[in-house]
Amino acid sequence: MKEKMVNFLLENANPSIKYAANGQNTIRCACIARAGYDDVIDIKPQIQLSLDSFRRVLEVDSILDITRAHQGRPERVNPSGICYIFNDPERWPCRYHLDMLAHTNSWKSKENIKIIADSMTKLMRTDRPEMQRGANSWVGYMFGTIGCFAEGFTLAREINDVRSTILDRLELLCRCGVAPYVVKIQEEVEILRKSINNDGICEANIDEDQLNGFSTYCGQQLEVDWHKKNPIRRLCDITFRALLILHYSERI
């Protein structure tokens, strides 16, 4: 079974360099990294592409410097219909770049970790709402990216006046070793730390959909279900993720 999986992942594991925050190979190599097969399958080109994508955030003032406006059809979320298209070729970080870096170690040096930290600090800016936008690729028509990052990147959501930590984002960043260099990450980690009660159970408000709402970008539930008759299963899943975050937040 392992050999079949390795052979499947090995196919076309080279970087896609034409489109920013896009490409099946980026997803494929993130899967290789998560599976721990990066010592079997060479994904160094994609790891370098991930680093270059985060570095690009520091080289420009904003995403508007490397995109062009495109008039599309008006939608509920964007009444003007104006979208933004990455220039070709270009670099920009996405969820899978972060995922790949979080689950590999070959790239880790103090210099590289600082690149990720400084990029995320910039992406977490909230003082420029006009810059809080993502972008798409152009392949003869507009083509969505794979979790393109934008300014205003947050580690928590507020729904009905309840603030909830987004555990998966926080975990990936802490795995990258950037927590000591990013104040907002440190603050979120401290919220989790203080939520651990005397019995070692995490009582923090968390974005539950990120744990049990399985989809392309979320779903980390380990317990079979979170049935109301057995709420301890929910607490076990949350506590496990919280302790992982606390562990990785202290590693450099």
Mean pLDDT by 10 residues, the chain (252 residues): 54 62 91 92 94 98 94 64 89 96 97 98 96 92 92 90 88 96 96 92 79 62 67 82 93 57
Domain residues for the domain of 29 are: 1-153
pTM of this structure = 0.86
177 phi/psi in degrees, rounded to 5: 85, 20
Q: Are residues 44 and 137 in the same domain?
A: yes
What pLDDT shows up at residue 162?
Answer: 81
Q: Is the dihedral of CA 30, 251, 207, 148 positive or negative?
A: negative
Q: DSSP letters of 44-90?
A: HHHHHHHHHHHHHHHHSS-GGGGEEEEE----SS-TT-EEEEE-SS-
What pLDDT shows up at residue 160?
Answer: 77
- Boundary of a domain, candidates 129, 153, 177: 153
What pLDDT shows up at residue 207?
Answer: 72
Q: Are residues 240 and 189 in the same domain?
A: yes
Q: Are residues 149 and 215 in the same domain?
A: no
- Boundary of a domain, candidates 137, 153, 169: 153
Q: Are residues 67 and 169 in the same domain?
A: no
What pLDDT shows up at residue 24?
Answer: 87
Single-letter code of the amino acid located at 146: I
Q: Are residues 148 and 159 in the same domain?
A: no
Q: Are residues 100 and 61 in the same domain?
A: yes
Strands 156-159 and 162-165: antiparallel
Q: Are residues 164 and 126 in the same domain?
A: no
What pLDDT shows up at residue 215?
Answer: 59
Q: Are residues 86 and 5 in the same domain?
A: yes
Q: Are residues 119 and 193 in the same domain?
A: no
**How many angstroms separate the CA atoms of 90 and 147, rounded?**
16
What pLDDT shows up at residue 39?
Answer: 92
Q: Are residues 142 and 172 in the same domain?
A: no
Q: How distant is the alpha carbon of residue 244 from its chain centre?
A: 16
And the tokens for 200?
């070692």
Query: What's the DSSP call for residue 146?
Result: S
Domain count, the chain: 2
Q: Are residues 112 and 184 in the same domain?
A: no
- Boundary of a domain, candidates 115, 138, 153: 153
